[in-house]
Structures are given as structure tokens and as C-alpha cells.
Structure 1
Amino acid sequence: MKWLLRIVVVLVVLIAAFLWLGYSQIDRLIKLGIEKGTPPVVQTSVTVAAVKLSPFSGTGTIEGFEIGNPKGFTGPRAMHIGKAEMALDTSSVSGDKIVIKHIRIAAPEINLEAGLGGTNLKHIAKNAQDFVSQQSTAAGKDSTAAPADDGKPKKSVKLQVDELLITGAKLSASAAGIVPGANANVTLPDIRLTNLGSGGAGISPAELIAQVLSRISTEAAKASANGSLKNLLQGSGVKIESDGLKDGVDGVKKLFRK
């Protein structure tokens, strides 16, 4: 009887060790997935400082998330998120659709840069939307999923996000390439998206990125075009007559909205 008890104890220890080893790699794998999977979607660099996720509660954080600027823009980055809090429905992880209860982002730093071809955020959002369209077209041409190494069809990751909330976003807007020295700083109104991917098969990570970036780009352009544009132009140090100032404001508004 003692030998049976010993075997059971050894098995429990081994199982616990394997589970701990697997869980200890989750943070690293998520971080790697973000840094490798996101750049092809947005067509610019993406880095993450750290990921911390509890596999038991489903709560965690993504720290130091940063999106670089696309080609043609001079700023070092387009967006920096110090910390994003999230909560997963752990029971959904083994299913066809991973349910994220919430993603909460506080005080991200957003750098909106206007150029002759539009803004950096608009470029990044369009890159994500184009990626989604290309994936949809490819899926339509080949409805049969590619087989995995074990012969079973690969399943693409699908998500459902019940709530995504961005509060206190710090926006720095500039048109330095057009009006040297011009810049403005504003705080964006809260951005709240709900029920993304609900009521169906869900959305892909690329679709989630495209929707969020498109909304941020829109809100940033609104704030820049309607908020501190007059101060932005006057802050450039360039003397503009009243009529010229109005024309300048209207011109830069168009650039931010492109």
C-alpha cells in the first residue's frame, strides 16, 4: 500500500511540475506573439516590455506596449501604452473563441503627426484594415484550412472583447513637416468599444487591432482639427494675418483628417 501511495505522490509532483513549467511560459509566449504577430498587421515596429498573466484568475497586464512610426514620419513612435489591464474568461481559452472580459488602458501617449499624405495614425490604421481585407480575400479563395503537422486543420484565433476602455489619452499633435515648430497637446475624451466579436464566430486579432486603431485615429484627428489648431499654428512662431490664419487652420484640419 505504501508503494502505491508513493507512486501517487510522485505522479502528483510530476504533474504539478509540468503545469508550473507550462504556466511559467505563458507570459513569454504572449509577449512573443504580440511582437511577432502585430508588425505585419500595422507595417511598423511593435515592442512590449512585459506581460503578466495569471492562468488561474485570467487577469493580467501588458506593460510598455509601443507602436513605432510608419515610413515617411519623423517621430520616434506613434503610440506608447504604459500599462493595459485585461481580464480573460478562462473557461473560453480551450474553445473556438477566446472571450476577453475587458481591456482597460489608462493615459496612453499618442503622437499624431500630419504629413502631406495624411497622418501617421491614419496610415497605421489603413495598414491594419488592408491586412484584414487581404486575409479575408485569401480565406475566400481557399476555404479549406491548411493542415497542421498532426494532419488536423489549423484553427485561426478568434476573439470576443466585451469592453475596451481608453481613458485620459495624452495626444501630442504636430505638423512639423508642413509648419515647422507647430505642435499642440490635448487630452482625448474617453474611448469605449463594446461587444467586439460578440454574437458570432468572433474577430481575429488583426480585426481587433484595425478597429481600435481606426477609432483612435478618428478621435485624435477630431481633437487636433477642432481643438488647438489655432494655437498649433501660432506656436510655430510664424506670423500669419487673420485671413491667412483661417486658411492655415483649414488647411491643417484637412491634413489631420486625411
Structure 2
Amino acid sequence: MSKAIKFGLGGILAILLIGFLVLTLSVDSIVKSGIESVGSEMTGTAVTVERVSISPFSGSGTISGFRVENPEDFGEEYALEIDDFSIELNIRSLFSDEIVVHDIEVTSPSVYVEQKMPENNLRIIMDHIESTSSDEASEKALVIEHFIMTNGSADLYTEVGGERSARVEIAEIELNDIGRGGERQAVENVIREIADAIVDQSLRAAAQSGAEQIQDAIQDFLN
């Protein structure tokens, strides 16, 4: 094999390798920046992700270090922490006007419920999400075909009737075809549906764990 052919093949392989690295970094960067920017705008607090690793070919990967900070004046740093969760999406849809996510599987998330009379950290975040999803929805649409959250826990912190803390399990949450059917759903509206399910189950678990006065305080947010 001549040197020219060897150099040519080497050049092609180098170009393919560079192209693969650029595409991989691009997909990971798009997903990470999208989660952080949209999430922070919707919650009114900082939403951060440590690392995103998604295959540019299969669309499968992992999102690590997902955290939602608490609103101001609450003791705990975060309202929600997820060490890792898996995701499978349609890569081409990232560059279209409708993002299609085939599957999201969340395992062992940690939710922190802080009850201060009359405020509740999760309801403050949820109120901000609801106002954003209705008033400032983006033109980008989102479909999530399957979402499941298992083995979640909620830590309850409250000053009602004296400081008290408890840890309770959150019921499994499974949702299908979010954002599909009828009119196209903006990204914010689809995220709101998932957030609403997580907040609702977390508050219900917290209410069931507490003393009567704690149950009454949190129950107000569930009605």
C-alpha cells in the first residue's frame, strides 16, 4: 500500500473521529444547557446538571447530578436531587421543532419538603412552574413517550408544632405519551405535568407521615 493511500485513509479516519467527537459533545451540550436554562427559568431557582452522556447514534444515555435548588429562605440547599437517570431520545428531533424522548427512567430521587407557615418550598416552585408554562411557553414542542420514577424518598422538615423531620417513601410515578395527542405541547407544559406529579406524590407522602397539625398544614396544598 502506497504512502499516499495510507495518508489518505489516515486522514479519513481522523476526520471521522473528529466528526464523532464534535457530534457527541454537541448532543451532550444541547441537552445539558437545555435542562439547565429551561429548568432554571421554570422553577425560579437554579437547576444544574453535572454531566450528560448520550450516544449520538442510539440516543441512549445518562444524566448525572441533577439538582433543583430551594427558593430563598429555606434551610435545605436543594428541593430535589437525582444522582443519575437514564434517557433515550430521538437525536434528530433535537434539531427540529418537536423533541421526542422515548424513555426516561428515574431511580431513587431525593425530594426535600420544607413546611413553613404558611409557605411550602415545593408549592412555591410549582406555582412558578405553572405561571411559566402558561405565560412564557416556548415555540419548541416536547413529547415524552414513557416516564417512570421508582424508589423515591421525601424528607420532611417542618416548624409546625415544633421542629420535626421524617423520611418517607414516594409512590411510583409512571406517565405515558406526555405531550402527545391533540395540539402540540410546549416544552414547559410537558415538564409541568411531570413536576406536578412528583410534587403531588411527595406532599401526599409527607402529609401521611406527620402529626395531625402537620397533615393539616400540608393537606391545604393538596386540595
- Scaled by the length of structure 1, what TM-score is found? 0.75
Write the distance in 1 (CA, Å) between the matches of 2:221 and 2:181. 35
Aligned residue for 2:202? 220
Aligned residue for 2:67? 66
Write the distance in 2 (CA, Å) between the matches of 1:93 and 1:8. 33
Write the distance in 2 (CA, Å) between the matches of 1:250 and 1:188. 16
Q: After superposition, what is the alpha-carbon deviation per residue over 1:177-225, rounded to whole angstroms, capped at 9, x for unaligned?
A: x333212211011011111111255433322221111111111121222
Identity %: 24
How far is the alpha carbon of 1:13 from its aligned partner? 4.5
- Scaled by the length of structure 2, what TM-score is found? 0.86
The 8 Å contact of residues 134 and 189 in structure 2, kept in 1 or not, is answered as no
Unmatched runs of 5 consecutive residues or more in structure 1: 140-155, 231-245
Write the distance in 2 (CA, Å) between the matches of 1:256 and 1:37. 25
Aligned-partner residue type, residue 66 of structure 1: R
Write the distance in 1 (CA, Å) between the matches of 2:170 and 2:116. 21
How far is the alpha carbon of 1:249 from its aligned partner? 4.7
How far is the alpha carbon of 1:12 from its aligned partner? 6.6
The 8 Å contact of residues 148 and 172 in structure 2, kept in 1 or not, is answered as yes
Q: How does 1:1-258 map to 2 (within 5 A)?
A: 9=9, 10=11, 13-14=14-15, 16-90=17-91, 92-136=93-137, 156-176=139-159, 178-200=160-182, 202-225=184-207, 227-230=208-211, 246=212, 248-249=213-214, 251-254=216-219, 257=222
The 8 Å contact of residues 23 and 56 in structure 2, kept in 1 or not, is answered as no
How far is the alpha carbon of 1:256 from its aligned partner? 5.3
The 8 Å contact of residues 44 and 68 in structure 1, kept in 2 or not, is answered as yes
Evaluate the alpha carbon distance shift between residue 43 and residue 87 of structure 1 in structure 2; reply closer, same or farther with a 3 A threshold. Answer: same
Write the distance in 2 (CA, Å) between the matches of 1:126 and 1:23. 36
The aligned length equals: 221
The 8 Å contact of residues 48 and 64 in structure 1, kept in 2 or not, is answered as yes
Evaluate the alpha carbon distance shift between residue 55 and residue 228 of structure 1 in structure 2; reply closer, same or farther with a 3 A threshold. Answer: same
Aligned-partner residue type, residue 181 of structure 1: E
The 8 Å contact of residues 158 and 201 in structure 1, kept in 2 or not, is answered as no
Write the distance in 1 (CA, Å) between the matches of 2:182 and 2:23. 30
Evaluate the alpha carbon distance shift between residue 250 and residue 89 of structure 1 in structure 2; reply closer, same or farther with a 3 A threshold. Answer: closer
3-state SS of 1:44 partner? coil
3-state SS of 2:154 partner? strand
Q: CA RMSD in A?
A: 2.7
Write the distance in 2 (CA, Å) between the matches of 1:253 and 1:109. 18
Q: After superposition, what is the alpha-carbon deviation per residue over 1:101-123, rounded to whole angstroms, capped at 9, x for unaligned?
A: 11010010000111223321111
Aligned residue for 1:241? none
How far is the alpha carbon of 1:87 from its aligned partner? 0.7
Greater mean deviation of Cα atoms: 212-221 or 163-172: 212-221
The 8 Å contact of residues 107 and 169 in structure 1, kept in 2 or not, is answered as yes
Evaluate the alpha carbon distance shift between residue 29 and residue 95 of structure 1 in structure 2; reply closer, same or farther with a 3 A threshold. Answer: closer
Aligned-partner residue type, residue 206 of structure 1: E
